Protein backbone atom coordinates (compact mmCIF):
# COMPACT_ATOMS: atom_id res chain seq x y z
CA UNK A 1 0.00 0.00 0.00
CA UNK A 2 2.85 2.42 0.85
CA UNK A 3 4.44 1.69 -2.54
CA UNK A 4 1.10 2.45 -4.26
CA UNK A 5 0.71 5.77 -2.41
CA UNK A 6 4.30 6.73 -3.28
CA UNK A 7 3.73 6.02 -6.97
CA UNK A 8 0.46 7.94 -6.83
CA UNK A 9 2.25 10.94 -5.29
CA UNK A 10 4.95 10.86 -7.96
CA UNK A 11 2.32 10.98 -10.68
CA UNK A 12 0.90 14.10 -9.05
CA UNK A 13 4.29 15.79 -9.01
CA UNK A 14 5.39 15.02 -12.55
CA UNK A 15 2.14 15.08 -14.52
CA UNK A 16 0.89 18.68 -14.24
CA UNK A 17 0.37 20.69 -17.41
CA UNK A 18 1.77 24.20 -17.15
CA UNK A 19 0.30 27.21 -18.94
CA UNK A 20 1.06 30.89 -18.73
CA UNK A 21 -0.67 33.32 -16.39
CA UNK A 22 -1.97 35.22 -19.42
CA UNK A 23 -3.60 32.06 -20.77
CA UNK A 24 -5.23 31.33 -17.40
CA UNK A 25 -6.94 34.72 -17.52
CA UNK A 26 -8.63 34.02 -20.85
CA UNK A 27 -11.14 31.42 -19.76
CA UNK A 28 -14.60 31.47 -18.13
CA UNK A 29 -13.85 29.88 -14.80
CA UNK A 30 -15.81 32.19 -12.49
CA UNK A 31 -19.37 33.05 -11.57
CA UNK A 32 -20.49 36.67 -11.93
CA UNK A 33 -20.89 38.82 -8.84
CA UNK A 34 -24.68 38.65 -9.11
CA UNK A 35 -24.60 34.84 -9.42
CA UNK A 36 -26.46 34.73 -12.74
CA UNK A 37 -23.88 34.14 -15.46
CA UNK A 38 -20.26 33.25 -16.16
CA UNK A 39 -17.24 35.50 -16.58
CA UNK A 40 -13.60 35.05 -17.45
CA UNK A 41 -10.84 35.92 -15.03
CA UNK A 42 -10.99 39.55 -16.15
CA UNK A 43 -14.71 39.76 -15.44
CA UNK A 44 -15.84 39.69 -19.08
CA UNK A 45 -19.23 37.92 -19.46
CA UNK A 46 -19.14 34.61 -21.32
CA UNK A 47 -22.19 33.18 -23.06
CA UNK A 48 -22.50 29.51 -22.09
CA UNK A 49 -23.49 27.64 -25.20
CA UNK A 50 -22.48 24.04 -24.67
CA UNK A 51 -22.43 20.80 -26.59
CA UNK A 52 -22.05 17.18 -25.50
CA UNK A 53 -19.15 15.02 -26.62
CA UNK A 54 -19.22 12.42 -23.85
CA UNK A 55 -16.76 10.06 -25.57
CA UNK A 56 -14.20 12.63 -26.69
CA UNK A 57 -11.32 11.35 -24.54
CA UNK A 58 -11.87 7.65 -25.15
CA UNK A 59 -13.52 6.82 -28.47
CA UNK A 60 -11.82 9.26 -30.85
CA UNK A 61 -8.28 9.41 -32.17
CA UNK A 62 -6.47 12.67 -31.59
CA UNK A 63 -6.95 13.87 -35.17
CA UNK A 64 -10.69 13.19 -34.88
CA UNK A 65 -10.83 15.02 -31.56
CA UNK A 66 -9.25 17.99 -33.31
CA UNK A 67 -11.92 17.90 -36.01
CA UNK A 68 -14.65 17.79 -33.38
CA UNK A 69 -13.26 20.69 -31.36
CA UNK A 70 -12.59 22.87 -34.39
CA UNK A 71 -16.14 22.29 -35.64
CA UNK A 72 -17.48 22.88 -32.14
CA UNK A 73 -15.79 26.28 -31.97
CA UNK A 74 -16.80 27.13 -35.53
CA UNK A 75 -20.47 26.73 -34.62
CA UNK A 76 -20.14 29.06 -31.62
CA UNK A 77 -20.02 26.49 -28.82
CA UNK A 78 -17.58 27.39 -26.06
CA UNK A 79 -18.22 24.49 -23.66
CA UNK A 80 -18.17 20.74 -24.27
CA UNK A 81 -19.42 18.19 -21.75
CA UNK A 82 -17.12 15.15 -21.71
CA UNK A 83 -16.92 12.03 -19.53
CA UNK A 84 -13.31 11.61 -18.47
CA UNK A 85 -13.41 7.81 -18.64
CA UNK A 86 -16.15 7.69 -21.29
CA UNK A 87 -19.60 6.11 -21.13
CA UNK A 88 -19.74 2.93 -19.05
CA UNK A 89 -18.09 1.80 -15.83
CA UNK A 90 -14.84 3.70 -16.39
CA UNK A 91 -12.62 0.69 -17.07
CA UNK A 92 -12.69 0.50 -20.88
CA UNK A 93 -9.55 1.38 -22.88
CA UNK A 94 -9.33 4.30 -25.26
CA UNK A 95 -8.83 3.90 -29.02
CA UNK A 96 -5.10 3.46 -28.40
CA UNK A 97 -5.70 0.53 -26.03
CA UNK A 98 -4.91 2.45 -22.84
CA UNK A 99 -7.17 2.06 -19.80
CA UNK A 100 -7.64 4.97 -17.36
CA UNK A 101 -6.31 3.08 -14.35
CA UNK A 102 -3.84 0.29 -13.72
CA UNK A 103 -5.76 -2.73 -12.39
CA UNK A 104 -8.93 -0.60 -12.56
CA UNK A 105 -7.79 1.25 -9.44
CA UNK A 106 -8.25 5.06 -9.50
CA UNK A 107 -5.30 5.41 -7.14
CA UNK A 108 -2.99 4.01 -9.83
CA UNK A 109 -3.84 6.13 -12.90
CA UNK A 110 -2.37 5.14 -16.24
CA UNK A 111 -0.14 7.95 -17.47
CA UNK A 112 -0.57 6.94 -21.12
CA UNK A 113 -4.34 7.38 -20.91
CA UNK A 114 -4.03 10.81 -19.33
CA UNK A 115 -1.41 12.01 -21.79
CA UNK A 116 -4.09 11.60 -24.45
CA UNK A 117 -6.48 13.61 -22.26
CA UNK A 118 -3.76 16.26 -21.96
CA UNK A 119 -3.46 16.47 -25.74
CA UNK A 120 -7.22 16.84 -26.24
CA UNK A 121 -7.37 19.55 -23.58
CA UNK A 122 -4.61 21.40 -25.39
CA UNK A 123 -6.56 21.26 -28.67
CA UNK A 124 -9.66 22.51 -26.86
CA UNK A 125 -7.63 25.38 -25.42
CA UNK A 126 -6.35 26.31 -28.88
CA UNK A 127 -9.99 26.55 -29.99
CA UNK A 128 -11.21 28.46 -26.90
CA UNK A 129 -13.39 25.55 -25.81
CA UNK A 130 -13.77 24.80 -22.12
CA UNK A 131 -14.28 21.16 -21.16
CA UNK A 132 -16.94 20.40 -18.57
CA UNK A 133 -15.21 17.25 -17.37
CA UNK A 134 -17.22 14.50 -15.69
CA UNK A 135 -14.83 12.85 -13.26
CA UNK A 136 -17.53 10.72 -11.64
CA UNK A 137 -20.61 8.97 -13.00
CA UNK A 138 -22.82 6.60 -11.04
CA UNK A 139 -21.61 3.81 -13.34
CA UNK A 140 -18.06 4.46 -12.10
CA UNK A 141 -19.05 3.74 -8.50
CA UNK A 142 -17.57 0.23 -8.37
CA UNK A 143 -14.16 1.81 -8.85
CA UNK A 144 -14.59 5.29 -7.37
CA UNK A 145 -15.91 5.14 -3.81
CA UNK A 146 -16.31 7.34 -0.77
CA UNK A 147 -13.09 5.78 0.54
CA UNK A 148 -10.85 6.63 -2.44
CA UNK A 149 -12.82 9.45 -4.06
CA UNK A 150 -11.04 12.32 -2.33
CA UNK A 151 -7.58 11.02 -3.24
CA UNK A 152 -8.65 10.37 -6.85
CA UNK A 153 -10.15 13.83 -7.23
CA UNK A 154 -7.14 15.50 -5.61
CA UNK A 155 -4.75 13.79 -8.02
CA UNK A 156 -6.87 14.81 -10.97
CA UNK A 157 -7.27 18.43 -9.83
CA UNK A 158 -3.60 18.78 -9.04
CA UNK A 159 -2.62 17.41 -12.43
CA UNK A 160 -4.80 20.03 -14.14
CA UNK A 161 -4.58 22.85 -11.60
CA UNK A 162 -2.99 25.19 -14.14
CA UNK A 163 -5.17 24.20 -17.09
CA UNK A 164 -7.74 26.99 -17.39
CA UNK A 165 -10.31 25.49 -19.74
CA UNK A 166 -11.90 23.02 -17.33
CA UNK A 167 -15.11 22.90 -15.32
CA UNK A 168 -15.50 19.90 -13.00
CA UNK A 169 -18.73 17.93 -13.17
CA UNK A 170 -20.14 14.88 -11.38
CA UNK A 171 -23.07 12.79 -12.61
CA UNK A 172 -24.83 10.46 -10.19
CA UNK A 173 -28.53 10.14 -9.58
CA UNK A 174 -30.07 12.85 -7.41
CA UNK A 175 -30.31 10.58 -4.37
CA UNK A 176 -29.09 11.04 -0.82
CA UNK A 177 -26.94 7.91 -1.03
CA UNK A 178 -24.52 9.77 -3.32
CA UNK A 179 -24.04 12.79 -1.06
CA UNK A 180 -21.04 11.37 0.89
CA UNK A 181 -19.05 10.59 -2.25
CA UNK A 182 -19.93 13.91 -3.88
CA UNK A 183 -18.62 15.73 -0.82
CA UNK A 184 -15.44 13.68 -0.83
CA UNK A 185 -14.87 14.33 -4.52
CA UNK A 186 -15.50 18.07 -4.11
CA UNK A 187 -13.11 18.22 -1.16
CA UNK A 188 -10.44 16.47 -3.20
CA UNK A 189 -10.90 18.84 -6.12
CA UNK A 190 -10.51 21.87 -3.85
CA UNK A 191 -7.43 20.37 -2.23
CA UNK A 192 -5.91 19.68 -5.64
CA UNK A 193 -6.48 22.98 -7.45
CA UNK A 194 -7.24 25.40 -4.63
CA UNK A 195 -10.77 26.01 -5.86
CA UNK A 196 -9.64 27.48 -9.20
CA UNK A 197 -12.09 25.50 -11.32
CA UNK A 198 -15.86 25.60 -10.96
CA UNK A 199 -17.72 22.49 -9.81
CA UNK A 200 -21.21 21.37 -10.78
CA UNK A 201 -23.35 18.24 -10.60
CA UNK A 202 -25.63 17.01 -13.39
CA UNK A 203 -28.02 14.30 -12.20
CA UNK A 204 -28.50 11.22 -14.36
CA UNK A 205 -31.31 10.38 -14.76
CA UNK A 206 -32.98 12.44 -12.02
CA UNK A 207 -33.60 16.06 -13.10
CA UNK A 208 -32.40 18.50 -10.41
CA UNK A 209 -29.01 19.14 -8.82
CA UNK A 210 -30.80 21.72 -6.71
CA UNK A 211 -33.24 19.14 -5.35
CA UNK A 212 -31.01 18.37 -2.38
CA UNK A 213 -27.58 19.97 -2.95
CA UNK A 214 -28.24 23.60 -3.83
CA UNK A 215 -26.89 24.98 -0.55
CA UNK A 216 -23.67 22.96 -0.65
CA UNK A 217 -20.87 25.54 -0.75
CA UNK A 218 -18.82 23.54 -3.26
CA UNK A 219 -21.68 23.53 -5.81
CA UNK A 220 -20.90 26.60 -7.93
CA UNK A 221 -23.90 26.32 -10.24
CA UNK A 222 -27.00 24.18 -10.65
CA UNK A 223 -27.47 21.81 -13.55
CA UNK A 224 -30.41 19.74 -14.74
CA UNK A 225 -31.54 17.42 -17.47
CA UNK A 226 -35.03 17.02 -18.89
CA UNK A 227 -34.47 14.15 -21.35
CA UNK A 228 -37.39 14.26 -23.82
CA UNK A 229 -39.69 16.39 -21.65
CA UNK A 230 -39.35 19.85 -23.15
CA UNK A 231 -42.36 20.91 -21.08
CA UNK A 232 -40.23 20.57 -17.92
CA UNK A 233 -37.65 23.16 -18.94
CA UNK A 234 -39.54 26.31 -18.00
CA UNK A 235 -40.81 25.17 -14.58
CA UNK A 236 -37.52 23.55 -13.61
CA UNK A 237 -35.37 26.48 -14.65
CA UNK A 238 -37.76 28.93 -12.98
CA UNK A 239 -37.55 26.89 -9.77
CA UNK A 240 -33.76 27.00 -9.72
CA UNK A 241 -33.57 30.63 -10.86
CA UNK A 242 -35.54 31.71 -7.79
CA UNK A 243 -33.52 29.75 -5.23
CA UNK A 244 -31.29 31.36 -2.60
CA UNK A 245 -28.36 31.67 -2.59
CA UNK A 246 -28.42 32.74 -6.23
CA UNK A 247 -26.40 30.49 -8.54
CA UNK A 248 -26.24 30.16 -12.33
CA UNK A 249 -28.57 27.56 -13.80
CA UNK A 250 -27.60 25.24 -16.66
CA UNK A 251 -30.08 23.17 -18.62
CA UNK A 252 -27.40 20.60 -19.25
CA UNK A 253 -29.13 17.84 -21.19
CA UNK A 254 -32.37 17.54 -23.11
CA UNK A 255 -33.36 15.52 -26.14
CA UNK A 256 -30.50 14.94 -28.60
CA UNK A 257 -30.93 16.00 -32.20
CA UNK A 258 -31.93 12.97 -34.30
CA UNK A 259 -32.19 10.98 -31.05
CA UNK A 260 -33.32 7.39 -31.44
CA UNK A 261 -34.77 6.66 -27.99
CA UNK A 262 -37.57 9.18 -27.51
CA UNK A 263 -40.40 7.81 -29.63
CA UNK A 264 -40.51 10.90 -31.85
CA UNK A 265 -38.25 12.75 -34.28
CA UNK A 266 -36.07 15.33 -32.53
CA UNK A 267 -36.10 18.01 -35.20
CA UNK A 268 -34.09 21.24 -35.41
CA UNK A 269 -37.27 23.06 -34.29
CA UNK A 270 -37.35 20.91 -31.15
CA UNK A 271 -33.68 21.72 -30.56
CA UNK A 272 -34.35 25.45 -30.90
CA UNK A 273 -37.29 25.34 -28.53
CA UNK A 274 -35.25 23.59 -25.85
CA UNK A 275 -32.55 26.24 -26.08
CA UNK A 276 -34.72 29.37 -26.24
CA UNK A 277 -36.91 28.10 -23.40
CA UNK A 278 -33.76 27.66 -21.31
CA UNK A 279 -32.27 31.09 -21.93
CA UNK A 280 -35.51 33.08 -21.69
CA UNK A 281 -36.34 31.37 -18.38
CA UNK A 282 -32.96 32.56 -17.07
CA UNK A 283 -30.70 29.54 -17.62
CA UNK A 284 -27.79 28.56 -19.85
CA UNK A 285 -27.99 25.61 -22.26
CA UNK A 286 -26.13 22.59 -23.62
CA UNK A 287 -26.98 20.89 -26.91
CA UNK A 288 -26.31 17.35 -28.06
CA UNK A 289 -26.51 15.19 -31.18
CA UNK A 290 -27.32 11.49 -31.11
CA UNK A 291 -24.61 10.47 -33.57
CA UNK A 292 -21.85 12.22 -31.65
CA UNK A 293 -22.36 10.73 -28.23
CA UNK A 294 -23.08 7.29 -29.67
CA UNK A 295 -20.00 7.59 -31.94
CA UNK A 296 -21.94 6.42 -35.00
CA UNK A 297 -20.30 6.29 -38.44
CA UNK A 298 -22.13 9.54 -39.23
CA UNK A 299 -20.53 11.51 -36.35
CA UNK A 300 -18.67 13.85 -38.72
CA UNK A 301 -21.84 14.86 -40.56
CA UNK A 302 -23.51 15.45 -37.19
CA UNK A 303 -21.04 18.24 -36.43
CA UNK A 304 -22.78 20.30 -39.13
CA UNK A 305 -26.32 19.30 -38.18
CA UNK A 306 -29.03 21.96 -38.64
CA UNK A 307 -29.71 22.22 -34.92
CA UNK A 308 -26.06 22.93 -34.16
CA UNK A 309 -25.92 25.62 -36.86
CA UNK A 310 -29.14 27.22 -35.63
CA UNK A 311 -27.89 27.43 -32.05
CA UNK A 312 -25.09 29.54 -33.47
CA UNK A 313 -27.84 31.86 -34.73
CA UNK A 314 -29.29 31.91 -31.21
CA UNK A 315 -25.94 32.93 -29.77
CA UNK A 316 -25.53 35.70 -32.34
CA UNK A 317 -29.01 37.03 -31.50
CA UNK A 318 -28.20 37.24 -27.80
CA UNK A 319 -24.72 38.70 -28.29
CA UNK A 320 -26.28 41.41 -30.44
CA UNK A 321 -28.20 42.72 -27.42
CA UNK A 322 -26.84 45.56 -25.29
CA UNK A 323 -25.52 43.91 -22.09
CA UNK A 324 -27.19 40.58 -22.82
CA UNK A 325 -25.94 39.25 -19.49
CA UNK A 326 -28.39 41.43 -17.55
CA UNK A 327 -31.29 39.29 -18.81
CA UNK A 328 -34.29 39.12 -16.48
CA UNK A 329 -37.06 36.58 -17.27
CA UNK A 330 -40.33 38.49 -17.26
CA UNK A 331 -43.51 36.92 -18.58
CA UNK A 332 -45.49 40.05 -17.64
CA UNK A 333 -44.03 41.53 -20.85
CA UNK A 334 -46.90 39.80 -22.63
CA UNK A 335 -50.24 41.55 -22.40
CA UNK A 336 -51.76 38.62 -24.25
CA UNK A 337 -50.36 35.49 -25.87
CA UNK A 338 -47.72 34.47 -23.34
CA UNK A 339 -47.53 30.73 -22.73
CA UNK A 340 -45.54 28.99 -19.98
CA UNK A 341 -47.15 25.54 -19.90
CA UNK A 342 -46.94 22.65 -22.33
CA UNK A 343 -44.49 21.88 -25.14
CA UNK A 344 -45.03 24.99 -27.27
CA UNK A 345 -44.25 28.14 -25.29
CA UNK A 346 -44.13 31.89 -25.83
CA UNK A 347 -41.58 33.36 -23.43
CA UNK A 348 -40.02 36.77 -22.89
CA UNK A 349 -37.17 38.45 -21.06
CA UNK A 350 -35.81 41.98 -20.75
CA UNK A 351 -32.70 43.90 -19.82
CA UNK A 352 -32.80 44.81 -16.13
CA UNK A 353 -32.86 48.52 -17.04
CA UNK A 354 -35.15 48.25 -20.08
CA UNK A 355 -32.46 48.45 -22.78
CA UNK A 356 -34.17 45.66 -24.74
CA UNK A 357 -36.94 43.10 -24.71
CA UNK A 358 -36.76 39.68 -26.37
CA UNK A 359 -39.72 37.39 -26.98
CA UNK A 360 -39.52 33.87 -28.37
CA UNK A 361 -42.59 32.39 -30.01
CA UNK A 362 -42.38 28.60 -30.25
CA UNK A 363 -44.82 28.44 -33.19
CA UNK A 364 -47.12 30.70 -35.21
CA UNK A 365 -48.63 33.22 -32.79
CA UNK A 366 -50.49 36.48 -32.38
CA UNK A 367 -49.82 38.34 -29.14
CA UNK A 368 -49.42 41.77 -27.57
CA UNK A 369 -46.64 43.42 -25.57
CA UNK A 370 -46.51 45.94 -22.74
CA UNK A 371 -44.41 48.59 -24.50
CA UNK A 372 -43.45 50.42 -21.30
CA UNK A 373 -40.91 47.65 -20.61
CA UNK A 374 -38.57 49.63 -22.91
CA UNK A 375 -36.86 52.53 -21.15
CA UNK A 376 -37.19 55.08 -23.97
CA UNK A 377 -39.90 57.19 -25.57
CA UNK A 378 -39.99 54.99 -28.67
CA UNK A 379 -38.89 51.47 -29.57
CA UNK A 380 -37.75 49.79 -32.75
CA UNK A 381 -39.02 46.25 -33.30
CA UNK A 382 -37.43 43.57 -35.44
CA UNK A 383 -37.98 39.91 -36.19
CA UNK A 384 -35.26 37.26 -36.37
CA UNK A 385 -35.94 33.89 -37.96
CA UNK A 386 -34.35 31.32 -35.55
CA UNK A 387 -34.00 28.88 -38.45
CA UNK A 388 -32.13 31.11 -40.90
CA UNK A 389 -30.95 34.12 -38.91
CA UNK A 390 -32.68 36.47 -41.34
CA UNK A 391 -33.82 39.71 -39.74
CA UNK A 392 -36.61 42.04 -40.80
CA UNK A 393 -37.95 45.29 -39.37
CA UNK A 394 -41.25 45.07 -37.51
CA UNK A 395 -41.95 48.78 -36.98
CA UNK A 396 -41.32 51.73 -34.68
CA UNK A 397 -43.67 52.26 -31.78
CA UNK A 398 -44.30 54.48 -28.76
CA UNK A 399 -43.15 52.88 -25.52
CA UNK A 400 -46.57 53.21 -23.94
CA UNK A 401 -49.67 51.05 -23.84
CA UNK A 402 -49.75 47.75 -25.68
CA UNK A 403 -48.80 46.75 -29.19
CA UNK A 404 -50.02 43.72 -31.11
CA UNK A 405 -47.79 41.48 -33.25
CA UNK A 406 -48.14 38.36 -35.37
CA UNK A 407 -45.23 36.14 -36.33
CA UNK A 408 -44.15 36.37 -39.99
CA UNK A 409 -45.93 34.14 -42.46
CA UNK A 410 -44.28 30.78 -43.07
CA UNK A 411 -41.92 30.85 -40.07
CA UNK A 412 -41.85 27.82 -37.76
CA UNK A 413 -40.91 29.93 -34.73
CA UNK A 414 -39.77 33.52 -34.25
CA UNK A 415 -37.82 35.99 -32.15
CA UNK A 416 -39.11 39.51 -31.59
CA UNK A 417 -36.65 42.12 -30.29
CA UNK A 418 -37.60 45.58 -29.06
CA UNK A 419 -34.89 48.19 -28.49
CA UNK A 420 -34.88 51.95 -27.79
CA UNK A 421 -35.23 54.04 -30.94
CA UNK A 422 -32.39 56.43 -31.62
CA UNK A 423 -34.73 59.23 -32.71
**Of the candidates 264, 287, 319, which is a domain's last residue?**
319
Q: What is the 3-state secondary structure (H, E, C) of 83-151?
A: ECCCCCCCCCCCCCCCCCEHHHCCCCECHHHHHHHHHHHHHHHHCCCEEEEEEEEHHHCCCCCCCCHHH
Q: For 221-233, what is the mean pLDDT?
A: 96
Which pLDDT value is given to residue 370? Answer: 98
**Tally of CA atoms within 13 A in the half-sphere of 403 that contains its CB:** 18
Q: How far apart are CA 349 and CA 306, in angstroms?
A: 25
Residues 331, 312, single domain; the answer is: no
Q: Is the pLDDT of residue 10 over 70?
A: no
Which pLDDT value is given to residue 7? Answer: 40
Residues 305, 350, single domain; the answer is: no
Residues 315, 337, single domain; the answer is: no
Q: How far apart are CA 211 and CA 220, in angstroms?
A: 15
Strands in 346-351's sheet, in edge-to-edge order, are 327-329, 346-351, 357-361, 414-420, 378-384, 391-398
Q: What angle do CA 247, 75, 17 make, to 5 degrees?
A: 65
Give backbone dihedrals phi and psi of 362, rounded to 5 degrees, phi first.
-75, -10
Residues 295, 377, single domain; the answer is: no
Of the candidates 307, 414, 306, 406, the residue with the CA atom closest to the CA atom of residue 363: 414
Residues 187, 292, single domain; the answer is: yes
Which pLDDT value is given to residue 309? Answer: 98
Q: What is the pTM of this model?
A: 0.94
Q: For 385-403, what is the mean pLDDT?
A: 98
CB 109 within 8 A of CB 100: yes
Handedness of CA 292, 297, 301, 305 (dihedral sign): negative
Confidence of residue 1 (pLDDT cuts 50, 70, 90): very low
Domain total of the chain:
2
Give backbone dihedrals phi and psi of 50, rounded to 5 degrees, phi first.
-110, 165
Q: For 96-121, what is the mean pLDDT?
A: 98
Q: Please report, for the domain that includes residue 340, its CATH number.
A: 2.60.40
Q: How far apart are CA 59 and CA 402, in angstroms?
A: 55
**Of the given ranges (14-23, 72-81, 114-123, 325-334), which has the lowest mean pLDDT?**
14-23
Q: Please report, for the domain that includes residue 229, its CATH number.
A: 3.20.20.80
Residues 108, 182, single domain; the answer is: yes
Mean pLDDT of the chain: 93
**Of the candidates 276, 291, 319, which is a domain's last residue?**
319
Residues 238, 335, single domain; the answer is: no
Q: For 283-299, what is the mean pLDDT?
A: 97
Q: Is the pLDDT of residue 305 over 60?
A: yes
Alpha helices (H) along 194-242: 210-213, 233-241
Confidence of residue 27 (pLDDT cuts 50, 70, 90): low
Q: For 222-239, what is the mean pLDDT?
A: 96
Q: For 192-219, what is the mean pLDDT?
A: 89
- β-partners of residue 245 are none
Which pLDDT value is given to residue 28? Answer: 55
Q: How far apart are CA 179 and CA 398, in angstroms?
A: 54
As a whole-number percent, the residues of the chain with pLDDT over 90 amount to 88
Residues 369, 305, single domain; the answer is: no
Alpha-carbon separation of residue 352 from 87, 281, 329, 330, 420 (angstroms): 41, 14, 9, 10, 14
Region of residue 306 (left: phi > 0; alpha: psi -120 to 50; beta: else):
alpha
Q: 83 lies in which domain range?
A: 2-319
Q: For 130-153, what is the mean pLDDT?
A: 97
Q: Is the pLDDT of residue 217 over 80?
A: yes
**Of the candidates 263, 292, 319, which is a domain's last residue?**
319
> What is the Cα gyration radius of the chain?
22
The count of residues in the chain is 423
Residues 307, 335, single domain; the answer is: no
Q: Is the pLDDT of residue 11 over 80?
A: no
Residues 208, 279, single domain; the answer is: yes
Residues 98, 165, single domain; the answer is: yes
Residues 331, 281, single domain; the answer is: no
Confidence of residue 174 (pLDDT cuts 50, 70, 90): confident
Amino acid sequence: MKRMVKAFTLLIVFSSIVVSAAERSAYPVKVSDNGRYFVDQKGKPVFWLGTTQWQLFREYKIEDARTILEKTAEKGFVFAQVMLMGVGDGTKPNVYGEKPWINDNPLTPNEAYFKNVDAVLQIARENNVTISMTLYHQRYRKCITAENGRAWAKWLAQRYKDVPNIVWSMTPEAKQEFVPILRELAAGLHEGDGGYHLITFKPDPAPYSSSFLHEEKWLDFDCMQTWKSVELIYPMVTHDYNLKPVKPVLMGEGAYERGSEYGFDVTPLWIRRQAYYSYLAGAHHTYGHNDSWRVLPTWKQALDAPGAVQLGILKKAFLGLNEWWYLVPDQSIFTTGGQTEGQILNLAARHKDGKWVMAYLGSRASFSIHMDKIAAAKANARWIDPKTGNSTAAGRFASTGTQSFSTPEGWEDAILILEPSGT
